[in-house]
Amino acid sequence: MNGNTTISGTVAHLLTPAERQHWKLAWLSTVDHKRIGILYMVTGLVFFVIAGIEALLIRLQLMVPNNTLLAPDTYNWMFTMHGTTMIFLVAMPVLFGIMNYILPLQIGARDMAFPRLNALGVWLVPFGGILLHFSFLAGGPPAVGWFAYTPLSEAPYSSQLGVDYWAISLLVLGIGSVSAGINFIVTVLTQRAPGMTLRRLPLFSWMTFMNAFLIILVLPILNAALVMLLIDRLLDGRFFLPFGGGSAIMWQHIFWAFGHPEVYIVAIPAFAILSEVIPVFSRKAIFGHEFVAASTVIIVFLSLLVWAHHMFTVGLGRAVDLFFVAASVLIAVPTGVKLFNWSATMVGGRVRFTTPMLFCVAALLQFLIGGLTGVSHAVAPLDWQTKNSYYLVAHFHNIFVGLIVFAILGGIYYWFPKMSGRMMSERIGKWVFWLMTIGFNLTFMIQHVLGLAGMPRRTFTYPDLPGWTWMNMVSTIGAFFMAAGSILFVWDLVISLFRGKPAGDNPWNAWTLEWATTSPPPHENFNALPPIHSRRPLWDYANPDRPDPVVPVGGAIDTFRPDKIKAGVITFIISEAGFFGVLILAYLFYNATSQSGPGAQQLDVLKTTIFSICLFASSFTIWRSEVGLHANNLGKMKAWLIATIVLGGIFIVGQGLEYWSLFQSGVTVGLDLFATTFFTLTGFHGLHVSFGLLALLVVLGVALVSNFKNGRFPALGAVGYYWHFVDVVWVLVFSIVYLWPLIR
């Protein structure tokens, strides 16, 4: 603990004396999850300022009717960049940052499972962000909305480079997010402190864990959609262009298969913050921990099932609409369970309305409103009337700002003392709170009415209709309240960092393990941990006479702790399966009816069969190589490894020859739908084989220069899993692309 209130005292927190010699590198090269968490959050804050300014420009333009402040095109840039930035460069990084900082502390770990991967994830955020914003200098940013519906986002209709930058930057961010998701899962599985069983995970950690599954399942879907769009735009592909035989609706399906769960990817961490803060400031354990935990699993599951409710106005037919109305309404059940549990936690508690608690209670109330308007959108006929009106805008801002931003603010006020060792100002905090909540409700509550009155979203101006002008004026004034609140918040952050009251280890008398260490925690997080028998170890420690009931340890699964590297590779493979799943489904959909023109019959099935056999055989050889390793026969291991590389190489050469002969006969990516889907699917598989070969070569190199006396070389096993996966994908691709046309 640091009682020193001088600036140099704070700098001492940011950097250790040794690091001050090379202070630039200390933060740039860090692999410490705490610093990475802060880097995530600071990056998010920078983009929050940018996207916030864009929001203010939008509101200024809409302040009065027939305004000419922004040109129509500029307006389109603004709402596209505002939406994209807020979701991918603000909400996700800031929440990832909080999870990165808190998760390892809360489960009693020293760091994340893969610290270097963690560093990669955080640096991909500014990289992606800069790519996206570079479009301002390269002919103009995207102007297609955050979901970039085709065919508008296709080359003939958006010929500037904006959409390309948009897609590539989201691809970069998507890869970073998947890496973070893998890291969260493996961290929870392998880095828990002794006694921290899966059932004893505090709700924040449990929800982070569940959320990570959602991340690795759906971000690859977006990645697949983006590469398809890029292939369309850059290689004249035909996926989403109706006049090339493609399907514009397909983009909507794939995008929303990602887009709907994405809402939960940013909402579940907000739920997680609420589930920590509300009990602590009610001085009660959360009401019905099991229900909150289980409802999270159900939300994850249902969120994957209901994307088509974003497409009621597309005209999918009554049958489709009906099923998705029913499934979508169901989501209200697990979210309702959560709301009831949070409310019941406060009932009868000694509630202290500190700034974090205020924000979380506000988040709960705004989420109630946003949730109810959400259910109203699940009803197709109402959705037809209100879709793309300001009613929808009001709805999702209730979720994104009302729930998520308020929960983030609550979380930062709650954990800032842990991160900096200093308290944030309660006095300024209350100002921030009232400015934000009043501003938010001024801005967005009235937009429900505007929407029902018919004001369309994404339109740069509006005529002077009765009532519209003053309502828009109110909305704009509210936005400036929020801007003032945000500026005050940043001021509070800065001033508290240097001048805040020293926090001590546990300023809120909280119960989870992050409060069992100093503020800020030392590099290794803990010197010693209290015993863990329940979900509130510090409560048990402080109240030995009336501890929480012990959460029993039953069966192997509670103490399940898989090998770190294998767990990492398997999680990675799950995410890759999602990516290939989308490409394969797209291939099946587009080739369900036989294409006219040169198609599957041009493929040389016999030749490919021979190359395929080489690839399948390489699965066997790498297995023999592992057997050699376990038998401590290193010569055998290396020999089989070389055989694997040779077989894989033959396959790649074979595929190259096949491509060459196809190109010679004029079959290129842009020729027709078959060619587009064929080259995309087999090309991405080939890319994966190539990466696998690189990894095998690295493993071989390591094997040649080291000797593994104990028969342990986990990298070989990990690459082995990956290699088998690539082979399994080829079994599917080969059957679908080459064998299926022969039998149908």
Partner 1 sequence: MTTQQFLISAWTWNATVLIAAAAALIAYLWAFGVNRRILYLLGGVGVFVLSLMSPLNALAAGYLFSAHMLQHILLLLIVPALVWMSLPRWISLGSRSWLIANPFVGWISGVGAMWLWHARPLCNAAVSSQLVNALQISSLLLLGTIFWRQILAPREQERMSPPGAVLYLFSACVACSILGILITFSPVSVCPIYAQPPADRLGVLNLVQSHWGITPDKDQQIGGLLMWVPMCLVYLSAIVAQLARWFAHPVASPPVTGKPL
The 10 Å CB-count burial string (b at 16+, else e) for 49-74 is ebbbebbbbbbebbbbeeeeebeeee
Cα distances from 47 to residues 86, 146, 205, 493, 665, in angstroms, run 8, 16, 26, 16, 49
Q: Cα–Cα distance between 232 and 640 in angstroms, integer?
A: 41
Quickly count: other Cβ atoms within 10 Å of residue 418's Cβ: 24
Among residues 634, 664, 670, 647, which one has the least CA distance to residue 730?
647
Among residues 168, 161, 162, 81, which one has the least CA distance to residue 124?
168
Q: Are 384 and 321 in contact (CB under 8 A)?
A: no
Structure tokens at 374: 């959400």
Closest approach of Cβ 527 to partner 1, in Å? Answer: 17
Does position 573 bind partner 1 by CB under 8 A? no
Q: Are 394 and 455 in contact (CB under 8 A)?
A: no
Tokens 């100093």 belong to which residue?
Answer: 518
Does position 290 bind partner 1 by CB under 8 A? yes
Structure tokens at 681: 């699917």
Instruction: Determine whether 284 is exposed, middle or buried from the number of CB atoms within 10 Å of its CB (0-12, 13-18, 19+).
Output: middle
Does position 198 bind partner 1 by CB under 8 A? yes
Q: In degrees, to the nearest 5, what angle opens at C-alpha 325 toward C-alphas 323 and 326? A: 65
Among 126, 195, 245, 683, binds partner 1 (CB under 8 A): 195
Tokens 């924000």 belong to which residue?
Answer: 359
Span near partner 1 by CB under 8 A; candidates 266-274, 353-361, 545-553, 647-655: 545-553
Among 53, 71, 326, 704, binds partner 1 (CB under 8 A): 326
Span near partner 1 by CB under 8 A; candidates 168-176, 192-200, 376-384, 404-412: 192-200
Among 101, 114, 146, 324, binds partner 1 (CB under 8 A): 324
Span near partner 1 by CB under 8 A; candidates 555-563, 638-646, 660-668, 712-720: 555-563
Does position 555 bind partner 1 by CB under 8 A? yes
Binding residues for partner 1, how many (CB under 8 A)? Answer: 44
Cα distances from 664 to residues 123, 130, 657, 661, in angstroms, run 42, 39, 10, 5
Closest approach of Cβ 635 to partner 1, in Å? Answer: 34
Among 203, 293, 337, 392, binds partner 1 (CB under 8 A): 293
Closest approach of Cβ 145 to partner 1, in Å? Answer: 24
Closest approach of Cβ 225 to partner 1, in Å? Answer: 15
Does position 315 bind partner 1 by CB under 8 A? no
Closest approach of Cβ 326 to partner 1, in Å? Answer: 7
Nearer to partner 1, 302 or 737 (CB): 302
Closest approach of Cβ 531 to partner 1, in Å? Answer: 4
Q: Are 269 and 99 in contact (CB under 8 A)?
A: yes
Closest approach of Cβ 322 to partner 1, in Å? Answer: 8
Site for partner 1, residues 474 to 513, rule: CB under 8 A: none
Does position 714 bind partner 1 by CB under 8 A? no
Q: Cα–Cα distance between 491 and 413 in angstroms, integer?
A: 13
Does position 14 bind partner 1 by CB under 8 A? no
Closest approach of Cβ 251 to partner 1, in Å? Answer: 13
Span near partner 1 by CB under 8 A; candidates 22-30, 195-203, 421-429, 503-511: 195-203
Closest approach of Cβ 583 to partner 1, in Å? Answer: 13
Q: Cα–Cα distance between 292 and 338 in angstroms, integer?
A: 6
Q: Are 316 and 308 in contact (CB under 8 A)?
A: yes
Among 248, 320, 329, 732, binds partner 1 (CB under 8 A): 320
Among residues 498, 519, 496, which one has the least CA distance to residue 8?
498
What does the per-residue mask of binding to partner 1 show for 227-266, with x meaning CB under 8 A?
--------------------------x-------------
Closest approach of Cβ 655 to partner 1, in Å? Answer: 26
Q: Which residues, in sequence order, are bridge partners of residue 389? A: 456
Maximal C-alpha separation, the chain = 85
Nearer to partner 1, 185 or 409 (CB): 185
Q: Are 414 and 508 in contact (CB under 8 A)?
A: yes
Quickly count: other Cβ atoms within 10 Å of residue 417's Cβ: 25
Among 127, 301, 434, 539, binds partner 1 (CB under 8 A): 301
Does position 559 bind partner 1 by CB under 8 A? yes
Quickly count: other Cβ atoms within 10 Å of residue 642's Cβ: 16
Tokens 């890291």 belong to which residue?
Answer: 183
Among residues 412, 477, 472, which one has the least CA distance to residue 440?
477
DSSP line for 302-361: HHTT-GGGGGGGG---HHHHHHHHHHHHHTHHHHHHHHHHHHHHHTTS-----HHHHHHH
Nearer to partner 1, 556 or 742 (CB): 556
What does the per-residue mask of binding to partner 1 show for 579-618, with x meaning CB under 8 A?
--x---x--xx--xx-------------------------
Nearer to partner 1, 588 or 631 (CB): 588
Does position 731 bind partner 1 by CB under 8 A? no
Among 18, 319, 606, 742, binds partner 1 (CB under 8 A): 319
Does position 556 bind partner 1 by CB under 8 A? yes
Closest approach of Cβ 194 to partner 1, in Å? Answer: 6
Q: Are 74 and 136 in contact (CB under 8 A)?
A: no
Q: How many helices (H) and strands (E) does the chain have?
A: 26, 0
Q: Cα–Cα distance between 611 and 466 in angstroms, integer?
A: 71
Among 7, 11, 137, 550, binds partner 1 (CB under 8 A): 550
Nearer to partner 1, 299 or 634 (CB): 299
Instruction: Measure CA of the first residue to CA of the last residue in the chain; give whole Å.
Output: 73
Cα distances from 259 to residues 339, 426, 735, in angstroms, run 23, 37, 31
Does position 340 bind partner 1 by CB under 8 A? no
Q: Cα–Cα distance between 111 and 192 in angstroms, integer?
A: 10
Closest approach of Cβ 104 to partner 1, in Å? Answer: 19
Nearer to partner 1, 369 or 570 (CB): 570
Among 554, 701, 711, 714, binds partner 1 (CB under 8 A): 554
Among 27, 127, 149, 323, binds partner 1 (CB under 8 A): 323
What does the per-residue mask of binding to partner 1 show for 512-541, with x meaning CB under 8 A?
-------------------xxx--------
Span near partner 1 by CB under 8 A; candidates 288-296, 408-416, 433-441, 598-606: 288-296
Q: Which residues of the chain form contacts with partner 1 (CB under 8 A)?
A: 194-195, 197-199, 253, 290, 293-294, 297-298, 301-302, 304-305, 317, 319-320, 323-324, 326-327, 330, 531-533, 547, 550, 552-560, 581, 585, 588-589, 592-593, 744
